[in-house]
Amino acid sequence: MQRVFNWGWIILLSTIVFTSYSQVLPSDSLRPFGSNLKAYSWDKNPSLSILSKDDQKEDAVVIKEVRILDFEQNNNQLLLNYTLHKRVRVSNEKAIAEFSRVYIPISNIQGEIDLSVRTIQANGKVILLDKSKIKELKNVEEAGDFTIFAFEGVEPGCEVEYLLKYTKPATVVGREMLQTEYKKLNSMIYVEIPETFFFQPVFYNCNYSFYRKEIEFKNCFFTGSLSVPKLKEETMAYYTSHLARFDYSIKSKYASKDMSWKEMSKTVMNRLLPAYNSKIEKLSKSLGIFEKTGTADKIQAIENYIKNNIALTGNVAEESVSSILKNKFASESGLIQLYMAFFKHAEIDYQLVYTTDRTRSNFDGEHPSWFFLEQTLFYFPSTKHYLSPTSIYLRYPMFPTSWALNQGLFINVIQKKKTPKDQIVMEERLDTIAPLSYDYNFSKLDIKTSFDLEKESVRLELMESFGGEPAIYYQPYFGLVEESKQKEIINSILKKPSEEGTPEKGEVLGYDRNISPAIKPFDVKGILNSTQLLQRAGGKFIFNIGDVIGPQSEWYADTMKRVLPITPRYGHFYIRSISIEIPEGYQVKNLEKLIMDVNMAYKDDPKSCYFSSKYVLEGSKLKIRVEEYYKLPEYPASTYEAFRKVINAAADFNKITLLLEKK
């Protein structure tokens, strides 16, 4: 067995030179682990690694990581013999808490896992973990089976190491994450696959690649030694989708079909396309779907029925549209079939859209892969809107914001109610999933303010209208909770200007749980009496006008250089109209504080994000209008400073105080 550790030093030294993603390949290394991959093993006499001063200061550093994907043909099955060898230096309590417990997903494993675990203490002593201490967890909620263990003898400055080997059936697609929030000094990936198979890797978020060679009827791939920088999470950013990784797909040389979007579309639709179903026909009639005139009305009636009556559950054995109607529960794919059956009967033109969740990965149209068929939407060309079948709390036209601004596979289905399955025409294409425009997402706040100087109190008459995304915190749940809880929700909204205030006459106007707040905003009105917003200062009064708009986020603290795009997730805006009745005999000083104008230009819009505040004084009435806009769901990292200024402008407004003094 070849000892990789020999030229580990050379790799280590050379990686110190590179500051970012770097890849080093020693010249004689195209079979770096020898020909018998199953025999890979770790250093029998390990010693503590020597780290640079900088690396010693890190909470944790991955000293070494080796992953071997050894594909082997066994009769008619392709198996994956997977080896993972990892060694981490932990330097403080936080790192110990993070690394001392390991959870390894092991669903579908064939045979036993081979797992060796040890700790190399700061004084060089090696503590091997007894295999009886390795446990298993079965069928953990949504996540499958796990093998778990805890390292023994861990203290700051030690290294924890494990070597894992298992075999499982190879899958058509696979993914290996390369980057985490901890630096990796030496990460290697080696793949071997019989030459009768194509192994097609695609790297994302880095400039790594595989060195390839054909050796003894095998295709071999090696990354060489990768020095992977850490990537930290940032505020208002998608994280996992920005981590360096590679996805791969496997195809037999003898497969007739190429993996293409067309083939994948055919495969899914063969499973999902519904036939004519008399139960659906009867139910649709009874729900009055056929009587509705507009497409949107029909869609909403169907969605209303399904989301109110059919529970979404895990896998269901032997599922069909008829069984779903009977049981009133369905798996995810069952639910999709149900919608498709309803659309068929109502003769609604739709497109089935597959995409990804952008927090985890972006849809890559250039590389057809089952990975990208992760989330499902329905698109209606006549209304240009989407419906998310599995989002229990979102209604048409709203859908999860992290799926938008993404490409997707659109499969257009052309059929009539009675078209038999084999005659249904399908067309697929790639297109961008447009997010809902920022006009749909807002909070409009109207406040009438009056003072009782004697009592040093302020009375606010509030009316707040939440449209689209800002309403999601309240609207979907409001109708599902008890009256006492509803009151709590209303009061929490009324109390935003002042937490200690006393709310009264709070109510929600015209509420309908079954209509999306993108169509019908969630409107709350009421009164708040506060003694905190007005304070006596000698013979004058200080009014905390800034608090009236509610607490604002702030990005004041100086952060490190921004790396990731800024992702508010959806374009939105806020309008605050404040009118203040100035008490008789009083005037307001320092009104100039109310004039604010902070703009961020982006592309051809000089005000892509902005915060503005202006006032008008009409006799004893002071009218203030505050506008805050973020029109796009995402901005590049280069706009960070300008974007921050707009966010902080709102927070600055919070600080404004007005002085009331006798004329």
Partner 1 sequence: MQKSFYLFFTLLSLAAAKAQLNPLDSLRKLYPDKKAVYLKQEVTLRYVFKNDSLRLLTDHHFDKCIMNENASLYSEKSVYHSGLIKLNTLAGKTIVSQGKKEKVYKNIETEVKDALEPGIFYDDLKTTKIQFPNVVPGARMVLDYQSEYLEPTMFPPVMLAAEYPILESTYTVIVPAGVAIDYSLLGISEKELRFQKTNSAKETTYQWKCSRMKDYEYYSNGPNPKKYIPQLVILLREYSAKNIRKTIKPGTKGLYEWCYSFSSKAKQNETNLLKPLVDSLTASAQNEKQKSKNIFYWVQDNIRYLAFEDGYGGYIPRHAEDIYRKKYGDCKDMANLITTMHQLAGLKAYLVWIGTREIPYSLQQVPLPCAFNHMISVVNLGNEWIYLDATGKYTHFGFPTDMIQGKETLISISKDSSLTLQVPIIEADRNVNRHQLQLSIQDNFLIGQGKRSITGLPKANFLASYHFTQTSDQNTFWSNNLRYGNNKCETSQYKLLNPDYKEEEMAVEFSIKLPDYILKVNDETFVNMNLRKDYYDSKIEDPNRTVPLEFELKSTSIQQFNLRIPAGYSISYMPEKASFEHPDFSFSIWYEKKNNEIIYNKKITLNTLEIKPSQFAEWNAMISALNKAYKESITLKK
Residue that is written with structure tokens 């990537």 in the block: 231
Question: What DSSP line would sit under 14-67, residue for residue?
Answer: HHHH--SSEEE--TT-SSTT-S-GGG----SS--PPP--HHHHHSSEEEEEEEE
| Buried/exposed 8-36: b ≥16 CB within 10 Å, e otherwise | beebbeebeeeeebbbbeeeebbbbbeee
Going through 531-604 in order, the beta strands assigned E by DSSP cover: 534-537, 540-543, 572-581, 586-589, 596-602
| CB of 638 vs partner 1, minimal distance in Å | 22
Q: What is the smallest separation between the CB atom of 137 and partner 1, expressed in angstroms?
A: 4
Give yes or no for residue 416 binding partner 1 (CB under 8 A): no
How distant is the alpha carbon of residue 552 from its chain centre? 23
Tell which residue, 509, 526, 523, 506, has the closest CA to residue 460.
526
Cβ closer to partner 1: 93 or 214?
A: 93
- Which of 114, 347, 499, 504 touches partner 1 by CB under 8 A? 499
Task: State in angstroms the smallest separation of the CB of 368 from partner 1.
Answer: 33
**Matching residue, tokens 């549209």:** 321
Q: Judged by CB under 8 A, which stretch of 57-65, 211-219, 358-366, 432-440 contacts partner 1?
A: 57-65
- Around 647, how many Cα atoms within 13 Å sit in the side-chain half-sphere? 15
Provide the mask over 560-599, with x wherever binding to partner 1 is found by CB under 8 A and - wherever it is not: -----------------------------xx---------
How much is the CA Rg of the chain, to the nearest whole Å?
30
Among 3, 57, 212, 285, binds partner 1 (CB under 8 A): 57
* Alpha-carbon gap, residue 592 to 24, rounded angstroms: 61
Near partner 1 by CB under 8 A: residue from 39, 484, 510, 619: 484
Q: Closest CB to partner 1 among 121 and 205?
A: 121
Q: Looking at residues 107 to 166 of the shown chain, list those that interact with partner 1 (rule: CB under 8 A).
A: 127, 135, 137-141, 148, 150, 152-155
Stretch that binds partner 1, among 186-194, 201-209, 477-485, 630-638 (CB under 8 A): 477-485
- Kindly tell me which residue out of 3, 94, 212, 421 binds partner 1, with binding defined by CB under 8 A: 94
Is residue 359 involved in binding partner 1 (CB under 8 A)?
no
- DSSP for 390-443, please give it: T-TT--TT---GGGSSEEEEEEEEE--TT--GGG-EEEEEEEEEPPPPGGGSEE
Residues 195-234 that bind partner 1 (CB under 8 A): 232
For residue 88, count CB atoms less than 10 angstroms from its CB and return exposed for 0-12, middle for 13-18, buried for 19 or more: buried
Here's the x/- map for partner 1, 325-344, by CB under 8 A: it reads as: -xxxx---------------
Q: What is the closest distance, in whole angstroms, from the C-beta atom of residue 323 to partner 1 in the complex?
A: 9
- Name which of 415 and 449 has its Cβ closer to partner 1: 449
Phi and psi angles of residue 55, each rounded to the nearest 5 degrees, phi first: -65, -30
In whole angstroms, the minimum distance from the beta carbon of 579 to partner 1 comes to: 23
The span from the CA of 103 to the CA of 150, in Å, is: 9
Selected from 59, 159, 428, 469, the binder of partner 1 by CB under 8 A is 59
- Contact status: 444 vs partner 1 (CB under 8 A): no
Please pick, from the candidates 52, 309, 437, 620, the single residue that binds partner 1 as defined by CB under 8 A: 309
Q: How far is the CB of 107 from partner 1 (least distance, A)?
A: 13
CB of 133 to partner 1, least distance (A): 8
104 with 164: CB under 8 angstroms? yes
Among 25, 463, 542, 637, binds partner 1 (CB under 8 A): 542
The angle formed by the CA atoms of residues 43, 44 and 47, to the nearest 5 degrees, is: 70
* Candidate segments 89-97, 159-167, 459-467, 622-630, binder of partner 1 by CB under 8 A: 89-97
Give the CA distances from residue 145 to residues 109, 139, 161, in Å, rounded to whole numbers and listed in that order.
10, 5, 22
Spacing of C-alpha 624 from chain mean position: 37
CA angle 467, 469, 470 (to 5 degrees): 70
Of 453 and 659, the one with the shorter C-beta distance to partner 1 is 659
Strand partners, 225: 24
Query: Is 54 among the residues that bind partner 1 (CB under 8 A)?
Result: no
Residue-wise burial string across 250-289, b where 16 or more C-beta atoms lie within 10 A, e elsewhere: beeeeeeeebebbebbeebbeebbbeebeebbebbeebeb
CB of 369 to partner 1, least distance (A): 30
In the complex, what is the shortest distance from the CB of residue 208 to partner 1, in angstroms, rounded to a whole number?
A: 25
DSSP 510: S
Candidates 38, 282, 416, 655: give the one binding partner 1 (CB under 8 A): 655
Which of 209, 252, 556, 606 touches partner 1 by CB under 8 A?
A: 556
Least separation in angstroms between residue 615's CB and partner 1 is 17
Rounded to the nearest whole angstrom, what is the least distance from the CB of residue 512 to partner 1 in the complex?
A: 12
Q: In this structure, are strands 350-355 and 406-414 parallel, antiparallel, or unpaired? A: antiparallel
By CB under 8 A, residue 479 contacts partner 1:
yes
CA distance 159 to 529: 59
With beta carbons less than 8 A apart as the criterion, state whether 509 and 464 touch. Answer: no
Identify which of residues 214 and 488 has a Cβ nearer to partner 1 in the complex.
488
- Calpha distance 296→298 (Å, rounded): 5
- Residue from 49, 450, 587, 657 touching partner 1 (CB under 8 A): that is 657
> In the chain, what's the furthest Cα-to-Cα distance?
97
Q: Give the angle subtended at the CA of 390 by the CAs of 385 and 395, to the nearest 5°.
A: 45
- Beta carbon of residue 525, minimum distance to partner 1 (angstroms, whole number): 19
Considering only 1, 16, 97, 601, the residue that binds partner 1 (CB under 8 A) is 97
Convert residues 507-536 into a mask of x (bound to partner 1 by CB under 8 A) and - (unbound). Answer: ------x-----------------xx-xxx
Closer to partner 1 by Cβ: residue 455 or 623:
455
What sign does the dihedral 12-13-17-22 (CA atoms) show?
negative
Cβ–Cβ contacts within 10 Å for residue 486, how many?
Answer: 19
Of the pair 127, 236, the CB lying nearest partner 1 is at 127
Residues within the interface to partner 1 (CB under 8 A)? 57-59, 92-94, 96-97, 100-101, 127, 135, 137-141, 148, 150, 152-155, 232, 308-311, 313-314, 316, 326-329, 392, 456, 479-484, 491, 499-500, 513, 531-532, 534-538, 542, 554, 556-557, 589-590, 651-652, 654-655, 657, 659
